[in-house]
C-alpha cells in the first residue's frame, strides 16, 4: 500500500472513531485506533485545520484525577449526506449529519414527469445544503445497472441514468436505488425489521413494490429488478397494466384502484385518509379494503412458501395495524401458506410513518462516507487492562479487511477467476493479485482448473484450499439411495445406487444411508466427510425436520444425528432441491450464474434457490416449497391437506386418462378424492409416472402435450417467484425432463408470458445437465 493510501486510511480511521464516539479525547483516540500518539496528533491537526473536526474545551467529569482532556467532535465542515425520494407526487429530501441525525426534511412540489427538467430542479434543492459527501436517490421504478426501467409510476424516466446526470450537476457521488429496497433498509435500520435476516417489505402506495432481505443481504436480482411484486399476474383476463400484461396485482389492489372503487360508490373523490376512516364504520369500504388485502395476501403466501421470510412488513397510506388490509393479508397467508411457514412468519405494519425509504436512503448514503470506510477497518480492541497482542496498524487492518473480502467471495462462489474476484470485491487488480499470492503462500487458497472455457486470455482460477480426504455425497430419493464419492477437489471417483423403498417410516432408509456411508468410509478412509440430501425441508440452524412437515415420515427429528450415530462422525444434511440448485450452479446448466432458480419437475415438485452464489434456505428451511403453491381454489386434495396445490396437478392420478383406465369414483388416488395424509410414494404412482414418460419418449402425442401443459402450469405458478427474485437462469430438472424438452418448453413459454417484462427480459430457461446425480453432487459441493 502506498504512503498516500496509508495516510488516507489513517485519516478515515480518525474520522470514523470521532463519528462513532461523538466526543472523544486524543488519548482515547490513540487507544481506539492503535496508532502512535504523534501520528494521531498530526492527523487531528490536519482535520482541525480543514474544519472536519472541532476541539472542545476541557470539562471536569469528576471521575478522573488530574488535568481533564480536551474533547474532539465533528466540526462544522464535516458535512453530511442527503437522501432523496423521487416519485410521481414530487421530491422528498432529507439532510443528515455524519452521525445519522436527520437535520432537515422537506417535500418539494417538483414536476417529475420530464426527467431533464426534473433533474435540474432536484439538483437545485440539494446543492443549497452545505458540504455533502454523498446523495442516495430512490426512485419508484425498477433499476438495472443504474438505468431506470419501465414503470407505471415514472413512465417518462425509462432508459435514463439519473446517477450520472445528478452527479454531474452536484459535483459529488450520487447513487440511485429502488425505493422499495431503500424502505427495506430503513425498516432494518430503524424499524420493525431490526434483527431479522429474511424480510419481505411491501410498499402499497402509488404502485406496489417489494424489497427483499435474504440471509441478511438486500437482494437486487440478476439484472437489478428483483421485487416486481406489483406486476405479479393474478388474473389472466383482467385489466391491461402499463407493463403490457393483464391482471397485474397493481391493477386490482393498488391504492389507485381501491380509491377509484370507493369514489365511484360514494359519488365523490375519496382520499386515502378518508378511506381508512370509512373502513372503521362502513361495511362497503371495509369489504373493498379487505378484498385488496386478500389479493395481496395470496401473493404474499406464494412468496412465503417460495422464499420463507421470518417477517413481512406492510407499508402504505391505506394500511393500519388494526385495518382490513392487514387482516386480509393475514387471512390469505393462513389459507394458502404451509402451516409451519405461517407459524414462523410475522406480519407487521411499518411504524415509521411513511419515512422508511427516506431513512433508508440516508443510511445508504452514510455507508459511502470516509467515516464509514474507516469503520470498516476497525477490529475489536482489547481493554486497556487486558494483555494481548499488539494492535494491527491501520494499513494492516485495511489489508485484513481485503483478505476477508476475497475469502468470503471464494467461500460463496467456489472456484473463481482472478478477474471475476476483481469485479466481485471491487478491489484494485494489483491488490487482488498481491493478496491472492499472500493467501496462497499461507495455504488458504490454491490454483485450480477453470470451471468453464472462455474466449481470450485465460485468467488464473482460485479456490479455498481443500483437504486431502474424500467427499461423500448421499441422496435419499427414488428408487433408493444414491452415493457419489469425490476427491478433496471435487473430482468424481465413484458413483453407486442402493435400491431402497420409501415408506411411512423414514428411519430404516436413514439407517441404510448410514450403513452405506460407513461402508464408504471403510473403503476410502476415515478422514472422509459426508453430506446427505433429503426430500424435506431442514431447519438451517437446528438441523431438524419441521414438526408439521408435509411428509410425516420426515418430521420432528434431526436426520444428521441419526446418520452421524451410525458412522461415528458429524454429517451435514440439506434439502434435495436446494442441493440440486447448488450443483447445477457450480457444475451444470447454470455455470457462471449467481442467481438461479432450480425447478424439480415431477410429481414431487420443489425448487432450489441460489442468490448471489449462495443457497437460500429461508428462515426455517422452507424456501422453495413451490409444490404447495395454490393453483385452483377447488382442486384435488394434496398430501399436505390443502386443495389445489401444484403437486396435486402433477401426480400420476391426474394423468390417468392417458396412462390407465379411469379409476372408479372415490378410489384411492383418483382426481378429487382425498389422499390419506402422509401416504408414502406408492408403487402405483411410480409406475404411473414411468408409463407417462415412456409414452412421451415413444412419440405419443397426447402424453407429450400433457407434459407441455404440465410445464405451462409449473411456469404459470412460479412466475411470481421470478418476478420477485429476478433470477438469471431457471434450470428445469426432475423426472419429467427424461422424456424430452416438453416440460422445459412449457415452463419457458409460461414464464415469458406471465412474468413481469422486466424480469422476463433477462431470463434464460434451460434443461438440467446433471440428471439423477444432481442431489448427490450438490451434497459434494456443500463440502467444498
pLDDT tens for 656-666 read 778 765 444 44
Average pLDDT (435-451) is 89
pLDDT category, 533, cuts 50, 70, 90? Answer: very high
Cell of 485: 464419492
Alpha helices in 51-171 (DSSP H): 115-127, 162-170
Q: Label residue 305 by pLDDT band (50, 70, 90).
A: very high
577 DSSP assignment: H
Report the distance separating Cα 319 and Cα 276, nearest Å.
8
Q: Which residues contact 220 (CB under 8 A, 6 or more apart)?
A: 181, 226, 726
What average pLDDT does this structure show over 634-652?
86
Can you give the pLDDT at residue 1? 46
Query: Is 295 in the same domain as 199?
Result: yes
- Would you say residue 569 lies in a domain? yes
Same domain? 636 vs 698 = yes
Is a pLDDT exceeding 60 seen at residue 404? yes
Confidence label for 685 from pLDDT (cuts 50, 70 and 90): low
The CATH number assigned to the domain holding 525 equals 3.30.420.40
> What band does 676 get if pLDDT is binned at 50, 70 and 90?
very low
**Confidence (pLDDT) at 3:** 57
pLDDT digits 0-9 by tens, 445-488: 999 888 777 777 788 999 888 776 889 999 998 778 999 999 88
Residues 139-160, mean pLDDT to the nearest whole number: 87
Nearest residue to 469 via CA among 414, 411, 531, 524: 524
**End-of-domain residue from the set 77, 97, 124:** 77
Task: Judge whether residue 82 has pLDDT over 70.
Answer: yes
pLDDT at 392 over 70: no
In a domain, 337, yes or no: yes
Q: How confident is the model at residue 66 (pLDDT cuts 50, 70, 90)?
A: low
Under 8 Å CB-to-CB from 150, ≥6 apart: which residues?
141, 142, 158, 242, 243, 757, 758
Looking at the predicted structure, is the pLDDT value of residue 712 above 50? Answer: yes
Q: Is residue 381 part of a domain?
A: no
Query: 79 and 133 in contact (C-beta within 8 Å)?
Result: yes
For range 280-305, the mean pLDDT? 95
Helix axes 3-21, 26-33, angle to 10 degrees: 120
Q: What is the DSSP letter of 504?
A: S
pLDDT at 767: 97
Q: What is the pLDDT of residue 385?
A: 38
Give yes or no: residues 758 and 739 share one domain. yes
Which residue among 449, 464, 479 closes a domain? 464
The reply to whether 273 and 339 lie within a common domain is yes
* C-beta of residue 473 within 8 angstroms of C-beta of residue 527: no
**433: helix, coil or strand?**
helix
Indicate whether 707 pLDDT > 90.
Answer: yes
Predicted pLDDT of residue 399: 77
Q: Rounded to whole angstroms, how far apart are CA atoms 177 and 156?
A: 17
Q: Are residues 564 and 616 in the same domain?
A: no
For range 247-271, the mean pLDDT:
93
Whole domain around residue 495: which residue ranges?
471-582
Q: Are residues 264 and 323 part of one domain?
A: yes
The answer to whether residue 705 scores a pLDDT higher than 60 is: yes
Model confidence at 35: pLDDT above 90:
no
Please name which of 581, 488, 490 lies closest in space to residue 528, comparing C-alpha atoms: 488
Specify the pLDDT at position 130.
64
Helix/strand/coil for 768? coil
User: From CA 45, how far away is CA 40, in angstroms rounded?
Assistant: 8
479: cis peptide before it, omega within 30°?
Answer: yes
Cell representation of residue 362 = 440516508
Q: Let me know whether 129 and 277 are in one domain.
A: no
Cα–Cα distance list, 393 to 35, 152, 319, 398 (Å): 7, 52, 51, 9
Report the C-alpha gap between 22 and 99 in whole angstroms. 8
d(CA 7, CA 152): 48
609 and 751 together in one domain: yes
Let me know whether 607 and 686 are in one domain: yes
Strands 729-733 and 764-767: parallel
CA quadruple 234, 240, 246, 248: dihedral sign: negative
Going by pLDDT thresholds of 50, 70 and 90, the confidence category of residue 634 is confident
Q: Which residue has the higher pLDDT, 308 or 504?
A: 308
Q: Which CATH number belongs to the domain containing residue 431 in this structure?
A: 1.10.10.10
In a domain, 413, yes or no: yes
Checking if the pLDDT of 60 tops 60, the result is no
How many independent structural domains does the chain possess? 6
Least confident residue range of 23-32, 366-375, 677-686: 677-686
pLDDT of residue 670: 41
Residue 523 predicted with pLDDT over 60: yes
Pull the grid cell for residue 609. 434457490
Q: Would 372 be classed as within a structural domain?
A: no
pLDDT of residue 384: 37
683, pLDDT greater than 80: no
Percent of the chain residues topping a pLDDT of 90: 49
* Averaged pLDDT, 429-434: 88
Are 208 and 177 found together in one domain? no
CA distances 609 to 233, 630, 695, 752, 784, Å, are 21, 19, 31, 19, 19
| Alpha helix positions (H), 568-680 | 576-586, 656-659
* Mean pLDDT value across the chain: 86
pLDDT digits (tens, 9 = 90+) for 184-241: 999 998 999 999 999 999 999 888 999 999 999 999 999 988 999 999 999 888 899 8
The SS3 assignment for 423 reads helix
Pair type for strands 147-148 and 143-144: antiparallel
Residue 376 lies in a domain: no
Q: Tell me the DSSP string of 283-320.
A: HHHHHHHHHHHHHHHHHHHHHHHHH--SEEEEESTT--
In a domain, 370, yes or no: no
pLDDT-derived band at 738, boundaries 50, 70, 90: very high
Same domain, 478 and 574: yes
Handedness of CA 388, 394, 399, 405 (dihedral sign): positive
pLDDT of residue 21 exceeding 90, the answer is no
pLDDT score recorded for residue 491:
84
| Mean pLDDT along residues 277-292 | 95
Q: Give residue 175's region: left, alpha or beta (phi > 0; psi -120 to 50).
A: beta
Helices (H) and strands (E) in the chain, counts: 26, 28
d(CA 259, CA 261): 5
Q: Is 115 part of a structural domain of the chain?
A: yes
Per-residue pLDDT at 717 exceeds 60: yes
- Residue 273 makes CB contacts below 8 A (sequence gap 6+) with 317
If asked whether residues 653 and 609 sit together in one domain, one would say yes
Residue tagged 493510501 (cell numbers)? 5
Alpha carbon of 183 to those of 218, 362, 675: distances in Å?
11, 11, 44
**pLDDT at residue 128, rounded to an integer:** 54
Q: What is the mean pLDDT of residues 46-74?
A: 73
Amino acid at each position: 500500500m502506498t504512503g498516500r493510501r496509508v495516510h488516507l486510511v489513517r485519516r478515515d480511521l480518525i474520522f470514523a472513531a470521532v463519528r462513532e464516539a461523538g466526543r472523544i479525547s486524543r488519548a482515547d483516540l490513540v487507544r481506539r485506533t492503535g496508532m502512535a500518539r504523534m501520528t494521531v496528533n498530526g492527523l487531528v491537526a490536519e482535520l482541525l485545520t480543514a474544519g472536519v473536526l472541532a476541539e472542545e474545551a476541557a470539562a471536569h467529569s469528576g471521575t478522573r484525577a488530574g488535568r481533564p482532556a480536551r474533547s474532539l467532535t465533528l466540526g462544522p465542515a464535516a458535512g453530511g449526506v442527503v437522501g432523496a425520494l423521487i416519485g410521481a407526487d414530487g421530491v422528498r429530501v432529507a439532510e443528515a449529519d455524519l452521525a445519522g441525525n436527520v437535520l432537515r426534511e422537506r417535500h418539494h412540489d417538483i414536476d417529475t414527469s420530464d426527467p431533464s427538467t426534473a433533474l435540474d430542479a432536484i439538483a437545485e434543492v440539494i446543492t443549497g445544503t452545505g458540504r455533502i459527501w454523498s446523495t442516495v436517490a430512490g426512485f419508484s421504478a425498477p433499476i438495472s445497472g443504474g438505468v431506470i426501467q419501465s414503470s407505471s409510476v415514472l413512465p417518462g424516466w425509462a432508459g435514463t441514468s439519473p446517477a450520472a446526470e445528478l452527479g454531474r450537476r452536484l459535483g459529488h457521488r450520487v447513487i440511485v436505488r429502488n425505493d422499495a429496497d431503500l424502505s427495506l433498509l430503513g425498516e432494518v435500520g430503524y424499524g420493525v425489521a431490526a434483527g431479522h435476516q429474511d424480510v419481505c417489505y411491501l410498499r402499497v402506495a402509488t404502485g406496489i413494490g417489494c424489497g427483499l432481505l435474504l440471509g441478511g443481504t438486500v437482494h437486487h436480482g440478476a439484472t437489478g429488478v428483483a421485487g416486481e411484486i406489483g406486476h405479479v399476474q393474478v388474473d389472466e383476463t383482467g385489466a391491461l397494466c402499463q407493463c403490457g400484461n393483464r391482471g397485474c396485482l397493481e391493477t386490482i389492489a393498488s391504492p389507485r384502484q381501491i380509491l377509484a372503487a370507493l369514489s365511484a360508490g360514494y359519488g365523490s373523490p375519496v382520499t386515502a385518509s378518508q378511506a381508512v376512516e370509512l373502513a372503521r364504520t362502513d361495511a362497503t369500504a371495509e369489504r373493498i379494503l379487505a378484498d385488496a388485502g386478500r389479493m395481496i395476501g395470496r401473493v404474499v403466501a406464494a412468496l412465503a412458501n417460495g422464499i420463507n421470510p421470518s417477517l413481512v412488513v406492510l407499508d402504505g397510506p391505506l394500511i393500519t395495524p388494526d385495518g382490513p388490509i392487514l387482516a386480509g393479508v393475514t387471512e390469505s397467508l393462513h389459507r394458502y401458506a404451509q402451516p409451519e411457514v405461517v407459524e414462523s412468519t410475522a406480519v407487521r405494519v411499518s411504524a415509521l410513518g411513511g419515512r422508511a425509504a427516506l431513512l433508508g436512503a440516508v443510511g445508504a448514503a452514510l455507508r459511502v462516507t470516509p467515516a464509514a470506510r474507516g469503520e470498516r477497518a476497525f477490529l475489536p480492541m482489547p481493554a486497556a487492562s487486558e494483555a494481548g497482542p499488539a494492535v494491527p496498524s491501520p494499513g494492516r487492518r485495511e489489508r485484513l479487511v481485503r483478505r476477508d473480502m476475497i475469502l468470503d467471495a471464494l467461500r460463496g462462489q467456489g472456484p473463481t477467476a482472478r478477474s471475476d474476484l476483481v469485479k466481485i470485491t471491487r478491489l484494485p487488480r494489483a491488490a487482488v493479485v498481491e493478496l491472492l499470492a499472500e493467501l496462497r503462500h499461507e495455504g488458504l487458497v490454491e490454483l485450480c482448473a477453470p470451471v468453464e472455457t472462455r474466449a481470450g486470455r485465460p485468467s488464473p482460477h482460485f479456490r479455498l484450499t481443500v483437504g486431502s480426504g474424500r467427499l461423500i455425497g448421499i441422496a435419499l430419493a427414488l428408487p433408493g439411495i444414491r452415493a457419489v464419492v469425490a476427491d478433496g477437489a471435487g473430482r468424481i471417483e465413484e458413483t453407486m445406487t442402493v435400491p431402497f423403498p420409501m415408506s411411512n417410516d423414514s428411519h430404516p432408509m436413514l439407517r441404510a444411508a448410514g450403513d452405506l456411508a460407513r461402508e464408504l468410509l471403510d473403503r476410502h478412509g476415515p478422514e472422509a466427510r459426508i453430506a446427505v440430501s433429503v426430500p424435506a425441508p431442514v431447519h438451517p440452524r437446528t438441523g431438524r425436520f419441521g414438526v408439521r412437515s408435509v411428509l410425516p415420515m420426515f418430521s420432528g427429528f434431526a436426520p444428521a444425528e441419526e446418520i452421524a450415530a451410525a458412522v461415528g462422525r458429524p454429517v451435514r444434511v440439506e434439502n434435495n432441491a436446494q442441493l440440486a440448485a447448488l450443483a447445477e450452479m457450480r457444475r451444470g446448466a447454470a455455470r457462471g450464474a449467481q442467481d438461479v432458480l432450480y425447478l424439480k419437475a415431477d410429481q414431487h415438485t420443489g425448487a432450489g434457490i441460489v442468490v448471489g452464489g449462495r443457497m437460500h434456505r429461508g428462515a426455517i428451511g422452507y424456501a422453495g416449497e413451490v409444490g404447495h403453491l395454490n393453483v385452483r381454489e377447488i382442486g384435488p386434495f394434496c398430501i399436505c391437506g390443502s386443495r389445489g396445490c401444484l403437486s396435486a396437478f402433477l401426480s400420476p392420478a391426474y394423468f390417468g386418462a392417458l396412462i390407465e383406465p379411469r379409476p372408479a369414483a372415490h378410489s384411492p388416488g383418483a382426481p378429487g378424492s382425498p389422499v390419506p395424509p402422509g401416504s408414502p410414494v406408492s408403487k402405483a404412482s411410480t409406475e404411473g409416472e414411468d408409463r407417462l414418460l415412456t409414452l412421451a419418449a415413444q412419440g405419443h402425442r397426447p402424453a407429450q402435450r400433457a407434459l407441455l401443459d404440465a410445464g405451462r402450469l409449473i411456469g404459470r405458478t412460479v412466475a411470481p417467484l421470478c418476478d420477485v427474485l429476478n433470477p438469471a437462469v431457471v434450470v428445469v430438472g426432475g423426472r419429467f425432463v427424461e422424456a424430452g424438452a416438453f416440460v422445459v418448453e412449457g415452463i419457458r413459454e409460461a414464464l415469458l408470458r406471465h412474468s413481469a417484462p422486466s424480469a422476463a427480459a433477462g431470463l434464460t430457461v434451460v434443461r438440467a445437465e446433471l440428471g439423477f446425480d444432481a442431489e448427490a453432487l450438490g451434497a459434494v459441493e456443500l463440502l467444498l
